[in-house]
Amino acid sequence: MSAPFGTAFDLIVSGDPALYEIIGLSLRVTLSAVAIAALLGLPLGAALALARFPGRGAVIVLFNALMGLPPVVAGLLIYLLLSRSGPLGDLALLFTPAAMIVAQTVLILPIVVSLTRSVTEDLWAEYEEQLKSLGATRLRAVPTLLWDGRVSLLTGVLAGFGRASAEVGAVLIVGGNIAGYTRTMTTAITLETSRGNLGLAVALGLILMALTLTLNALAWSLGQWQRERIG
Amino acid sequence: MHATRRALFGLASSLALLVALPASAQEFITVASTTSTANSGLFDHILPMFQEETGIEVRVVAQGTGQALETGRRGDADVVFVHARAQEEQFVEEGYGVERFDVMYNDFVIVGPGEDPAGVRETDTAADAMAAIAEAQASFASRGDDSGTHAAEKSLWASAGVEPAGRWYLSTGSGMGATLNTAAQVPAYALTDRGTWLSFANRGPLEIVSQGDQVLFNPYGVILVSPERHPHVKAQAGQAFIDWLVSNAGQAAIASYHVGGEQLFFPSAQ
């Protein structure tokens, strides 16, 4: 069982350019998806917390349910959308990193929206009087509330990162696992498993988990630092 | 607080910049091929030679034969490179493909646990081997995914006069490698192409128990997706790839691919 650790270590120190290319692409795709999902999801989630409109409950339930959307289903729908025979075929995005970013964004947007809504609702309940007395409308309160909840919201964004970096079903379908172009950590693990190279597959998995751990440690430190400042 | 906010904005916008992906200036084609071909490592061996000669990058999407042909039908690939002749001919007849070219062949082998509980080694033909497995109700792991290998397996059962069903018949519904991983664990018999078998690392107790029968012949064909049906198909570059595969240079490249001292694919262009 210790062999994969040795393989992982050898892989990292060997400086194999193919490995670094795969790690680079994985990070590029997932961080892009997280950035887009955060830019869209944070304001959307906060707006959903504060706005009152008919059907609001249904929209909230829908976003909550979409957190459980199976990656392979999301991948299939985006495949059909981006296929040359599909409605967006002229964009020629299928089997590109851009298609993988779209797929992961769709997967993590519901997580960011739902967690943001929940955090913002609590904050609004706490500060409603105060903000209203300062003359803030519900819409004007959105940036203030997002800023106040930044430490909690970071957890939501990290949950999104976790789902995106771990999934394989969607990126395999829309990316195609093309060597040197759309092969990510998770699709490479799938490929090596199917080749019977179980040791190499586990080694790649260990590297992926080390990356995730590092990113989470950084985010946690950032959160601690902010908490201390708020005091 | 303002400094922090500015820093966060900077972080967010630099993340957003990652989205702007560098466009590759190089000419490329997309080839839909089968998992067995890709898993064998053949493409890693021959594609650099083709790219050196023509400057064309080949992006291979490895799928089951059924899915690869569907990718071609939808116009999501320029060339399909698969091994299920009847389905390939239908693909061309329906107007999705221009013309089918023979490229190479390898063969299927029946693998199973070394102690051979069904006595497959005593049989002479592949059909008899399948009949012996069914007779003994020994576990058999099937692809069950409408791939070229699955199609070959079904025709073997038919010629053995067996309707495979029961607890001994395991339909994995997955690729060749995943099916072999299952077979090694059970352990079970399985039909596999020789290429995947030779480069497969997790064999466990499995060994080749039957090989060499003519019906195990596994021919590969290559087809350009019809530019009439899908005008965006890169017909010129795609045809250049096909022409190279069937040329002396391409055929020699295929023949020169060895794993563990064994040749995996045999050129068969006319």
Predicted local confidence at residue B5, as pLDDT? 53
Please say if the pLDDT value at position B12 is more than 70.
no
Mean pLDDT, chain A, integer: 91
Q: Do the Cβ atoms of B175 and A101 come within 8 Å?
A: no
Mutate which of B2, B6, B17, B21 to test chain A, going by most A C-beta atoms within 10 A?
B21
CB B103 within 8 A of CB B85: no
Residue matched to tokens 């990126």: A171
**CA-nearest residue of chain A to B184?**
A196
pLDDT at position A207: 92
CB-nearest partner of B59 from A95, A150, A198: A95
Assigned CATH topology for domain B107-216: D-Maltodextrin-Binding Protein; domain 2 (3.40.190)
Q: Locate the domains of chain B by residue range.
A: 26-105+219-267, 107-216
Residue B11: per-residue pLDDT? 47
**Residue of B13, B14, B15 for testing the chain A interface, max A β-carbons within 10 Å:** B15
Dig out the tokens for B155 from the structure: 């025709």
Alpha helices in B120-228 (DSSP H): 126-136, 148-160, 176-185, 194-199
Report the gap between the CA of A152 and the closest CA in chain B (Å): 15
A146 neighbourhood in chain B, CB within 8 Å: none
Strand ranges, E, within chain B: 28-34, 57-63, 79-82, 97-113, 140-142, 169-171, 189-193, 206-210, 217-225, 258-259, 262-263, 266-267
- pLDDT score at B21: 46
Question: Where do the domains of chain A lie?
Answer: 16-230
What pLDDT score does A226 carry? 83
Beta-bridged to residue B223, according to DSSP, are B80, B100
Report the alpha-carbon distance of residue B245 to residue B36 in Å, rounded. Answer: 18
- Give the other-Cβ count within 10 Å of A193's Cβ: 20
Interface residue A197 vs chain B (CB under 8 A):
yes
| CB contacts, 8 Å: B18 with chain A | 28, 31-32, 35
CB contact under 8 A, B181 and A196: yes
B40-93 residue pLDDT tens: 889 999 999 999 999 999 999 998 888 999 999 999 999 999 998 889 999 999
Tell if the CB–CB gap between A195 and B30 is shorter than 8 Å.
Answer: no
User: Helix (H, G, I), strand (E, B), or coil: what is residue B175?
Assistant: coil
Class of domain B26-105+219-267: alpha beta
| pLDDT score at A13 | 82
Reported as half-sphere exposure (CB side, CA atoms, 13 A), residue B134 has a value of: 17
In CATH, the architecture of A16-230 is Orthogonal Bundle (1.10)
**Of B10 and A217, which is predicted with more confidence?**
A217
Provide, as residue numbers in chain B, all residues whose Cβ is less than 8 Å from the Cβ of A143.
none
Verify whether the Cβ–Cβ distance B15 to A95 is below 8 Å: no
Separation in Å, CA of B161 to nearest CA in chain A:
31
List CB contacts of B90: < 8 A, sequence separation 6 or more.
none
Instruction: State pLDDT tens for residues B221-252.
Output: 999 999 999 999 999 999 999 999 999 999 99
**Dihedral of the CA atoms B206, B45, B42, B47 (nearest 10)?**
160
Instruction: For residue B35, give the nearest of A179, A194, A196 by CB distance.
Output: A194
Question: Does residue B7 carry a pLDDT above 70?
Answer: no
